[in-house]
């Protein structure tokens, strides 16, 4: 069993409403030594792919990206969730529906930091239906940046977002893929 699967079984909690609570180590309290292990695993999968930037979304993708970036030795760019409708002309924007909160987020990145010179690793903590990743892909397309792959801590495989991206040809690398989940247990792929 892989280290992310072990940690989910040890510290994760399945809650009503299709919630997997991993806030003791991944997205509220952060176990940095554990996240470092995740960052290293991403590096081992994607090293040699010419990645020069990691693209993630605030907030919970940032910590994992920091750990990975230390191995890749590249900068991180985190997309912000727009707080106003008065956005600068110097931003790329894309809409991503949040599965957790049931709202649409407008993701923004500065045009100065994402360009056609970039070969990007997209990285996030969760992949469910794939809306956040699709928003990040949209930003890359607008900038003319190429995408080396997609690195995910926990994929909810039964929601299909990861497989849809794989079908389109993306290298989606998830440290744990959940194919079934309920309050009596979790089945990994």
- Cα separation, 119 vs 116, whole angstroms: 8
Least separation in angstroms between CB 91 and its own copies:
10
Least separation in angstroms between CB 158 and its own copies:
25
- Cα separation, 89 vs 125, whole angstroms: 29
Tokens of 55: 């693209």
Q: Which is nearer to its own copies, 45 or 80 (CB)?
A: 80
Q: What is the DSSP code string of 137-165? A: HHHHHHHT-EEEEEEEEEEEGGG-HHHHH
What 3-state class would DSSP assign to 184? coil
Sites of contact with its own copies (CB under 8 A) = 23-24, 28-33, 35-36, 58-59, 62-63, 65-67, 69-70, 73, 75-78, 80, 83-84, 101, 103, 109-110, 112-113
Least separation in angstroms between CB 110 and its own copies:
6
Least separation in angstroms between CB 173 and its own copies:
20
- Cα separation, 161 vs 155, whole angstroms: 8
DSSP, res 4: H
Q: Which is nearer to its own copies, 107 or 165 (CB)?
A: 107
Q: Which is nearer to its own copies, 113 or 158 (CB)?
A: 113
Q: Which is nearer to its own copies, 77 or 148 (CB)?
A: 77
């Amino acid at each position: 069993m892989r280290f992310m699967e072990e940690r989910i079984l040890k510290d994760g909690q399945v809650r009503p409403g299709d919630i997997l609570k991993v806030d003791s180590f991944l997205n509220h309290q952060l176990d940095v030594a554990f996240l470092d292990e995740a960052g290293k695993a991403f590096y081992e999968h994607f090293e040699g792919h010419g990645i020069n930037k990691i693209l993630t979304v605030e907030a919970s993708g940032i910590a994992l990206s920091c750990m990975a970036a230390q191995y890749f030795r590249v900068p991180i760019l985190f997309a912000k969730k727009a707080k106003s409708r008065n956005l600068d002309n110097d931003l790329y924007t894309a809409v991503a529906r949040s599965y957790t909160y049931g709202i649409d987020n407008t993701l923004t990145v500065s045009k100065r930091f994402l360009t056609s010179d970039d070969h990007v690793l997209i990285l996030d903590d969760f992949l469910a239906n794939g809306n956040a990743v699709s928003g990040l892909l949209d930003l890359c397309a607008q900038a003319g940046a190429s995408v080396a792959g997609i690195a995910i801590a926990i994929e909810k495989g039964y929601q299909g977002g990861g497989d849809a991206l794989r079908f389109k040809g993306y290298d989606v690398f998830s440290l744990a893929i959940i194919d079934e989940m309920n309050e009596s247990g979790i089945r990994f792929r």
